[in-house]
Amino acid sequence: MPAPKFEPKTNRLPKALNVCIIGASKGIGASIANAYAQAGAGGLAIAVRPSSMKELIAVEQHIKESNPTVQVTIIPCDITSSTSVVDLAKRVKAKFRHLDVVDVNSGYSGPVVLTVGDGTLLTSKMCLMSTCKLYTTNIHPMEAALESLKSLKPRESLNYTKIAKEYSIDQSLLSKRH
Ligand SMILES: NC(=O)c1ccc[n+]([C@@H]2O[C@H](COP(=O)([O-])OP(=O)(O)OC[C@H]3O[C@@H](n4cnc5c(N)ncnc54)[C@H](OP(=O)(O)O)[C@@H]3O)[C@@H](O)[C@H]2O)c1
């Protein structure tokens, strides 16, 4: 239970925002979706991998109980697939026309199998449709790699190839950002 000061029901949004939450089938993402509904969001696009659609439908039902007027749309999306993210952006745009917030809650654990960029794809595809804000609950691998470079001791050699491989990110992007 949030402290009363942070209770969504008593902290209404200034307007009925349209929000897209990726990774909303459970955990923090499901709670964020429900909190937006309680705070008076206008539209919620909740997304998750196709394998978790059943759980997402349960989240949708819970949201509708919290706020029967919020428009909820559930969309399959695997954030590790750029075509899937592009499809999500198209579907959200078709549904809401205007998007205020994207919340990326989909995390991964274990070995990273894809090269992850610096978030440009997601940011541009989702946010070009409007001036929406992007939030994430994940620690982005690029940010983690930059932190790792910052923590190198003066005598330690700087090896972009090694760090890029370790964090599964693009080496040239890493050196540009550093
Ligand atoms: N910033 C912080 O202080 C903080 C604190 C705690 C957690 N975190 C981070 O926040 C994230 C969420 O935490 P959580 O506890 O809510 O995790 P969680 O319970 O595992 O939920 C993650 C959500 O992302 C979905 N997801 C996983 N892989 C996906 C993919 N490839 N494409 C689309 N959706 C995917 C999951 O669905 P599935 O059912 O398909 O797996 C689930 O809905 C994690 O990355 C965690 O490390 C941050």
Distance of CA 29 from the midpoint of ligand 1 (Å) = 7
pLDDT, the chain, mean? 84
Predicted confidence (pLDDT) per residue in 87-141, tens digit: 999 999 999 988 999 888 886 533 334 444 555 545 545 544 445 677 766 667 7
Say whether both 89 and 162 belong to one domain: no
pLDDT tens across 67-95, in order? 999 999 999 999 888 889 889 999 999 99
> What pLDDT does residue 116 have?
47
Considering the domain architecture, whether residues 111 and 95 belong to the same structural domain is answered as yes
| Residue 122 shares a structural domain with residue 173 | no
Q: Which two tokens stand for residue 77?
A: 């999306």
How many angstroms separate the alpha carbon of residue 107 from the centre of ligand 1? 4
- CATH code for the domain in which residue 87 is found: 3.40.50.720
- Residues 163, 101: one domain? no
Domain end call among 136, 151, 166: 136
Lining ligand 1 with CB less than 6 A are 22-29, 48-49, 51-52, 55, 77-80, 105-108, 137-138
pLDDT band at 1 (very low <50, low <70, confident <90, very high): low
Q: What is the CA radius of gyration of the chain?
A: 18
Query: Which residue range is the domain that position 171 belongs to?
Result: 141-177
Is 32 within 8 Å of 24 (Cβ atoms)?
yes
At 132, is the secondary structure helix, strand, or coil?
coil
- DSSP helix/strand/coil, 158: coil
The protein residue whose alpha carbon is closest to atom 9 in ligand 1 is: 138
Residues 107 and 156 in one domain: no
Phi/psi of residue 151, nearest 5 degrees: -85, 5
Taking alpha carbons only, the member of 79, 94, 76 closest to residue 18 is: 94
From 20, 28, 112, give the residue whose CB has the most ligand 1 atoms within 8 Å, as the site to mutate.
Answer: 28
Task: Give the nearest ligand 1 atom to 81 CA.
Answer: 31
| Overall number of domains in the chain | 2
Question: 146 with 128, same domain?
Answer: no
Same domain, 40 and 125: yes
